[in-house]
C-alpha cells in the first residue's frame, strides 16, 4: 500500500513538472510573439557563420542590412540589428548558440548554419521556440522532412544538385566516371544521388571509394583508375581534404576533370590546390551575370569589401532581403506570420534568382549553375 502511494506521488509530481514545462514553453513563445509585434522596436536577427568553411556569407548579409538601414529601415523605420555568432561547423557549439538565441526573446529570426550536421539539430530548437530559421547552406533533405512551421532553406537540396551534376557529365560527353566521397552524410548522400542520375544518363560508374576526413594519403583510392581510361572523377567532400585528393591525383599522372558539389565552390580550393584544381566543375547557386540585380550586387559588394562575392555571400544577402520583404509584405514582425508569408508567397526575385517555397520550406524553381575553376583562380559560369 505504501509503495502504491509513493508511486502515485511520483507520477503526480512528474505530470505537474511536464505540464509546467509545457506551459512555460508556450508562455515564452507567446511573449516572443508579443515582443516581436512591437511596430516601433528595432528588429533583432541572428547571423550564424561557420568559420570552418571559408566563405563570405557574413559579409553578404551585413551588406544587405546596411542597405536596408540606410534607406530608413523597414516598416515604421525599424532598423535591423544583427547578432553575429560562429558555430565553427560543430553540432555541440551550434546547439549552445541555438539555446543562447532562444533565451533572447528579442530575436525573431536566424540566418546561416552552413553544415547540415549543425543546421538539422538546431532547427529543432528554433522550431520549438518559435524562431524563424533560414538555412543558407544545409542541403540535406532531412532539414525539411518534418512538418515544421518555421524552417526554410534558400539553397537546393542534395538530390537537385546531384542530378544537375550528372546531367553536366552527360553534356560534357563523359562516359566512365570514378566516384570518391568523404565519409559522412553529405558525401555519401550527394554521391548516391549523382550515381543514380548518371546511370539514367547512360554513364558507367567505374568504381566508388570513400575516405575519412582525417586521412592524409589518398593515393590508394585511385587504384586501377590510372589504366581504366576514366573520363572524370566525381568528388563529394569538403576542404582541405578535397584539395589534397586533387593534388595527389595529379601527382599520380591522372589529369581528368573533377566534378564536385557546392562545397567545392570555395576560394580555398584555388589557395590549396592551385593549378592542379583548374578545370574542376562545381555546382553553384549564384551567377554574377544572372541579372541586373546580380550585377549591381557584385558592384556594391566589391565597393564595400574590395573583393568579389562568392555564392554564400549572395545567399546571405538574399536571405536578409527575403526576410525584410516578408516583414514588409505582411506588415508584421511576428515569426509565425513571417513564415506564413514565405510559405504562401508568389514569385519574388533577387540577386540569386527567383524565390518560391514548397509547403515544407524547400526552395523551388531554382537554377543550379555550373562553374569551372579557371587558370586565374576564379570560378567561371558555363553558359548553356
110 against 39, higher pLDDT: 110
CA–CA–CA angle 100, 154, 79 (5° rounding): 55
Check pLDDT > 90 for residue 132. Answer: yes
Kindly report the CA angle at 112 between 111 and 113, in degrees rounded to 5?
135
Q: Which residues pair with 81 in a beta bridge?
A: 44
Q: Is the pLDDT of residue 13 over 70?
A: no
pTM of the entire structure?
A: 0.84
Render pLDDT for 278-288 as a digit per residue (tens, 0 to 9).
999 999 999 99
191: helix, strand or coil? helix
Residues 6+ apart with CB under 8 A from 88: 50, 51, 52
- Residue 35 vs residues 39, 258, 306: alpha-carbon distances, Å: 9, 51, 38
Residue-wise pLDDT tens digits, 202-229: 999 999 999 998 888 888 888 777 778 8
- Which structural domains are found in the chain, ordered by start? 43-156+288-366 (3.40.50.2300), 159-284 (3.40.50.2300)
Average pLDDT over residues 325-342: 93
Question: Where residue 360 falls among pLDDT bands split at 50, 70, 90?
Answer: very high
How many Cα atoms are found within 13 Å in the side-chain-facing hemisphere of 51?
Answer: 6
Most confident of 20-24, 52-56, 66-70: 66-70
Question: Mean per-residue pLDDT for 26-50?
Answer: 71
The dihedral formed by the CA atoms of 278, 284, 287 and 291, expressed in degrees to the nearest 10: 170
Mean pLDDT of the chain: 88
* pLDDT in the model for residue 26: 47
State the number of CA atoms in the 13 A half-sphere of 122 facing the CB: 34
Amino acid at each position: 500500500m505504501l509503495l502504491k502511494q509513493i508511486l502515485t506521488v511520483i507520477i503526480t509530481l512528474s505530470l505537474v513538472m511536464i505540464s509546467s514545462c509545457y506551459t512555460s514553453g508556450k508562455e515564452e513563445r507567446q511573449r516572443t510573439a508579443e515582443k516581436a509585434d512591437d511596430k516601433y522596436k528595432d528588429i533583432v536577427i541572428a547571423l550564424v557563420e561557420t568559420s570552418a568553411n571559408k566563405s563570405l556569407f557574413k559579409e553578404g548579409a551585413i551588406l544587405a542590412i546596411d542597405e536596408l538601414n540606410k534607406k530608413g529601415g523597414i516598416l515604421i523605420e525599424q532598423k535591423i540589428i544583427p547578432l553575429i555568432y560562429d558555430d565553427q561547423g560543430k553540432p555541440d557549439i551550434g546547439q549552445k548558440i541555438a539555446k543562447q538565441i532562444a533565451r533572447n526573446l528579442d530575436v525573431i529570426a536566424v540566418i546561416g548554419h552552413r553544415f547540415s550536421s549543425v543546421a538539422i539539430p538546431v532547427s529543432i530548437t528554433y522550431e520549438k521556440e518559435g524562431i524563424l530559421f533560414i538555412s543558407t547552406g544545409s542541403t540535406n533533405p532531412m532539414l525539411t522532412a518534418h512538418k515544421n512551421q518555421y524552417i526554410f532553406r534558400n539553397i537546393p537540396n542534395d538530390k537537385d544538385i546531384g542530378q544537375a551534376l550528372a546531367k553536366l557529365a552527360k553534356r560534357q560527353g563523359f562516359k566512365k566516371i570514378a566516384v570518391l566521397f568523404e565519409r559522412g552524410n553529405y558525401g555519401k548522400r550527394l554521391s548516391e544521388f549523382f550515381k543514380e542520375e548518371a546511370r539514367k544518363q547512360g554513364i558507367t560508374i567505374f568504381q566508388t571509394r570513400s575516405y575519412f576526413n582525417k586521412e592524409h594519403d589518398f593515393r590508394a583510392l585511385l587504384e586501377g583508375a590510372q589504366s581504366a581510361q576514366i573520363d572524370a572523377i566525381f568528388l563529394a567532400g569538403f576542404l582541405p581534404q578535397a584539395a589534397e585528393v586533387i593534388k595527389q591525383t595529379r601527382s599520380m599522372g591522372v589529369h581528368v576533370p573533377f566534378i564536385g558539389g557546392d562545397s567545392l565552390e570555395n576560394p580555398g580550393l584555388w589557395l590549396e590546390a592551385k593549378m592542379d584544381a583548374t578545370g574542376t566543375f562545381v555546382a553553384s547557386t549564384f551567377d554574377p551575370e544572372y541579372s541586373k540585380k546580380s550585377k549591381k550586387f557584385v558592384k556594391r559588394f566589391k565597393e564595400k569589401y574590395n573583393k568579389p562575392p562568392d555564392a554564400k555571400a549572395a545567399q546571405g544577402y538574399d536571405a536578409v532581403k527575403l526576410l525584410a520583404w516578408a516583414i514588409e509584405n505582411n506588415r508584421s514582425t511576428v515569426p509565425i506570420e513571417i513564415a506564413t508569408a514565405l510559405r504562401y508567397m508568389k514569385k519574388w526575385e533577387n540577386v540569386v534568382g527567383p524565390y518560391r517555397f514548397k509547403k515544407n520550406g524547400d526552395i523551388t524553381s531554382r537554377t543550379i549553375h555550373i562553374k569551372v575553376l579557371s587558370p586565374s583562380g576564379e570560378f567561371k559560369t558555363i553558359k548553356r
